[in-house]
Amino acid sequence: MPENVSAERFIERLEAYIPSDEADKIHRYFKSGEGEYGDGDIFIGVRMRDVFGLAKEFIEMPPDEIEKLLESPVHEVRVGGLSVMDKQARLKRTPASRRKELYDLYMRRHDRINNWDLVDLGSPHAVGGYLSDKPRDILYKLARSKDMWERRTAIVSTLYFVRQGEVDDTFKIAEILLDDDQDLIHKAFGGLLREAGKKDHQKLLDFLDKHAATMPRTALRYAIERLDKEERSHYLGLKKAK
């Protein structure tokens, strides 16, 4: 392992960014090992730009150490772990073997990737990038998962494909998610439809012609954000008519 890129060292460095009124309490938490992970995350007030900057310094962290960060109940620590994964997956020099390790880690520890920002940070490159030249059946399986965060991974991972000009998976997975009951899923697939529409305007219009009247309103509003005023009015009108 490269020197000084351990999870323990990352957390020690992160402590320096904790606001002074929280530092003593959080320091005791880390050193004592007290506390259990519950339904809600622990937030320690570190700014995201500081977390991301620190992740850049720890970009060589191996997957077994990244996993230790994912196991933390502290949200900013897990953000750091996902940011390291994302930065490694983006590097052209990252070997295929490491890309597979990052993908496998993401999938195996999805139980720790349980917030929208964690999914959105890690899935495009660690998942979508890895699957770019491989079968993508797993994304369709995730899209039908009972777990909301797995469903969000399914659609957000397609952002990588969209950026390469490949939009078919985005539209197909969005169709699977049309009846989802979670607003965070509506926002996710609506946003991806918008991005796919930048690459293929007609496919977005075809999708909206078919589904605008019945799709969730939040998803529709996200999907039509970049359309011209007349098109937006048309599709909102279909929704109102329904």
pLDDT digit string, tens, across residues 17-43: 988 765 455 545 444 344 333 356 788
Measured between alpha carbons, how far is 104 from 144 in angstroms, rounded to an integer? 19
Measured between alpha carbons, how far is 211 from 239 in angstroms, rounded to an integer? 9
Domain boundaries, the chain: 1-134, 138-242
CB atoms within 10 A of CB 170: 27
pLDDT digit string, tens, across residues 158-192: 999 999 999 999 999 999 999 999 999 999 999 99
**pTM, two decimal places:** 0.90
- Please tell me the predicted confidence (pLDDT) of residue 147: 96
Q: In the predicted model, what is the mean pLDDT of residues 62-87? A: 96
Measuring CA to CA, which residue among 189, 183, 149 is closest to residue 169? Answer: 189
Q: Which long-range contacts (CB under 8 A, 24 or more apart) does 164-170 make?
A: 164/132, 165/199, 167/196, 167/199, 167/200, 167/203, 169/136, 169/139, 170/195, 170/196
**Cβ pair 173, 154 in contact under 8 A:** yes
Q: In the predicted model, what is the mean pLDDT of residues 32-55? A: 73
Measuring CA to CA, which residue among 17, 106, 3 is closest to residue 61? Answer: 3
- Please tell me the predicted confidence (pLDDT) of residue 38: 39
Measuring CA to CA, which residue among 26, 125, 10, 123 is closest to residue 62? Answer: 10
**Cβ pair 161, 128 in contact under 8 A:** yes
Is the domain spanning 138-242 CATH 1.25.10.90? The answer is yes
**Cβ pair 64, 6 in contact under 8 A:** no
